[in-house]
Amino acid sequence: MRRLLSGNEAIARGAYEAGVTIGTGYPGTPSTEILENLARYSPEVYCEWSPNEKVAFEVAAGASLAGARSIVTMKHVGLNVAADPLMTLSYISVEGGFVACVADDPGMHSSQNEQDTRNYARFARVPLFEPADSQEAKDLLMLALSVSEEFKTPAILRTTTRVSHSRSLVELGEREQAKKEIGFVKNPPRFVPIPVWGRPMRQRVEERLKGLQALSEKSPANRIEWRSKGLGIITSSIAYQYAREVWPEASVLKLGFSYPFPDALIREFAQGVDRLLVVEELDPFIEEHVKALGISCQGRDFVPGIMELSVDRLLQSRRLMDGGEATRKEEDPFRELLPPRPPVLCPGCPHRGVFYALSREDVVVTGDIGCYSLGAFPPLDRMDSILCMGAGVSMAHGMEKAGEKRKVVGVVGDSTFFHSGITGLLDIVYNKGHSTIIVLDNRTTAMTGHQDHPGTGRTIGGEPTVAVSIEDIGRACGINRVRSIDPYQLDNAREAIKEELAALEPSLIVSRAPCPLRERRRVGAMRTILAEECRACELCLSLGCPAIEGVDGVMKINQTLCAGCGLCEQICPAGAIVSREGV
- On whether 572 is known to bind a ligand per the annotation, the reply is yes
DSSP 56-67: HHHHHHHHHHTT
Residue 305 CB coordination number (10 Å): 17
Cα torsion through 234, 236, 240, 243, rounded to 10: -40
Contacts of 211 (CB under 8 A, 6+ apart): 151
Residue 74 bridge partners (DSSP) = 102
388 is in an annotated binding site: no
AA letter at 490:
L
**Helix %, strand %, coil % for the chain, to 5?**
40, 20, 40
| Residue closest to 278 by CA, chosen among 258, 262, 256, 301 | 301
User: Cβ(110)–Cβ(243) under 8 Å?
Assistant: no
The answer to the question of whether 349 is labelled as a binding residue is no
Backbone φ/ψ region at 67: left (φ over 0), alpha (ψ -120 to 50), beta: left
The answer to whether the annotation marks 371 as part of a ligand binding site is no
Strands 407-413 and 436-441: parallel
Instruction: Say if strands 22-25 and 70-75 run parallel, antiparallel, or are unpaired.
Output: parallel
- DSSP assignment string, 295-342: ---BSTTTS--SS---HHHHHHHHHHHTT----PPPPPTTGGGSPP--
Rounded CA-CA distance 141/147 in Å is: 10
**Known binding positions for [4Fe-4S] cluster:** 534, 537, 540, 545, 562, 565, 568, 572
**Known binding positions:** 534, 537, 540, 545, 562, 565, 568, 572
